[in-house]
Structure 1
């Protein structure tokens, strides 16, 4: 089993990449679990799932019982072996989806129990042979401070042409290395023109570019129609087909 986290600056298209790669891998007979760890919770739409599962953070009694609540003893290793079956849904191409939920803010409490829940899922989730877990992370770097991506096999960072996006990618790698993540790859989205300068900057951070995705109006149409990009096709989806073939996945 391989575990892939997909990260990047807000608005770069990481959820589109997460959902499309999940569907592409499932079509190649991989057993795919997609976990939506982004507070915006848009992964279901990118997968083509019309009725997403309730976020795990809404099951407060479950989290209190398994991971410890605000007034209880915090548990670092909550029981999670039944979570996929109980709280996930299966969508097109048999991709399974779990939704973590929104980050509580404004003094309403920390995400420690829910983060512990996610970390335990990544450590202990057991699928069939040839299985892949794709984790759509929240934008930016905050999730790295909570360590929810610790234990993943590779982090894919989606960037778009622009200095801020590339700088965010560098910061993501810097923090990810502190929690022992060692394998990275960059995907340049909305690509156009000469990308050599961007590739050079990413290589300077130690991030190899594994593929580029062209700007494609088909993705805009899919978003407007709340449809999965893979169901609309287009040049961007074709580019992502090339990208998945470069992922370090070996069928057993």
Structure 2
């Protein structure tokens, strides 16, 4: 299963990605979690120590030059549009609680924007992860679908938009949906996060108007506490894992029925 997760900054998508990866792992699945957000927080959310020592793939200039033949500093130089990347997931991933993690860093306009070696390299790597790997792949994206080129869209089983109670978050969800529609991604769902009341659920469901809601994640101070303590977001948080497991089950049912 290949899952992309998007949403407005601060809505809790990285927490959801970490918990979803944990739930799939506990079900016996092999999981690769991909941090494709320029603000890379997934490692810390998974409870990885010494996160400042992690170098995003996008910053590995020597590797990018070796594989593409150039870097963005070499303006006008020809470079490989489809570099070899199949060995990289095993070389440059780290493991935490049975979850493989790759930190890509910024991916620039995957659908057809920045024509630079770094962008081509990262697009090819993400495409390989989605198209060729047989693990569950969960991609933590920024608020958009720029990471997903048209070639990879067919292999994405679901785009999940994380939404919190509030008009700005709901508005962002519709913007993400429109971008996804534009590149032909049809399996679009939402998850309500930071929900503290029945009214919050109603607000999200009514506001999304037609976007299927897979479920809700309750507001919890434990997530903030885990961040302060440097623990995984799901550590000692059975409620979070239980709610995300229900969402996973609903997602699998939706995909089977589509």
Match of residue 29 from structure 1: 28
* Preserved contact between residue 164 and residue 204 of structure 2 (Cα < 8 Å): no
Unaligned 5+ segments in structure 2 are 109-113
1:57 maps onto 2:61 in alignment: no
C-alpha spacing 1:83/1:234, structure 2 compared with 1 (3 Å): same
Report the 3-state secondary structure (helix = DSSP H, G, I; strand = E; otherwise coil) of the residue aligned with 2:250.
Answer: coil
Query: For 2:71, which of 69, 85, 88 is the aligned residue?
Result: 69
C-alpha spacing 1:43/1:111, structure 2 compared with 1 (3 Å): farther
Match of residue 39 from structure 1: 38
C-alpha spacing 1:111/1:8, structure 2 compared with 1 (3 Å): farther
1:235 maps onto 2:234 in alignment: no
* Preserved contact between residue 54 and residue 87 of structure 1 (Cα < 8 Å): no
* Preserved contact between residue 95 and residue 101 of structure 2 (Cα < 8 Å): yes
Unaligned 5+ segments in structure 1 are 105-109
Match of residue 111 from structure 2: none
* Preserved contact between residue 189 and residue 215 of structure 1 (Cα < 8 Å): yes
| RMSD over aligned Cα atoms | 2.2
C-alpha spacing 1:147/1:28, structure 2 compared with 1 (3 Å): closer
Match of residue 107 from structure 1: none
- Identify which range, 151-160 or 70-79, moves more after superposition: 70-79
1:168 maps onto 2:169 in alignment: no
Shift of 1:176: 1.1
Q: C-alpha deviations, 1:69-118, integer Å up to 9, x for none?
A: 222324332211001111111111x21111012479xxxxx684333333
Report the 3-state secondary structure (helix = DSSP H, G, I; strand = E; otherwise coil) of the residue aligned with 2:234.
Answer: helix
1:189 maps onto 2:193 in alignment: yes
Match of residue 13 from structure 1: 12
Q: Pairwise mapping of residues 59-138 of structure 1 onto structure 2 (< 5 A)?
A: 59-67=60-68, 68-70=70-72, 71=74, 72-92=77-97, 94-102=98-106, 112-125=116-129, 126-128=132-134, 131-138=135-142
Output the CA distance in 2 between the equivalents of 1:112 and 1:26.
36
Shift of 1:247: 2.0
1:244 maps onto 2:248 in alignment: yes
Using structure 1 for the length normalisation, give the TM-score: 0.85
* Preserved contact between residue 158 and residue 186 of structure 1 (Cα < 8 Å): yes
C-alpha spacing 1:111/1:99, structure 2 compared with 1 (3 Å): farther
Using structure 2 for the length normalisation, give the TM-score: 0.83
Shift of 1:36: 0.5
Q: C-alpha deviations, 1:25-67, integer Å up to 9, x for none?
A: 0111111011111122110112122245421122112112323
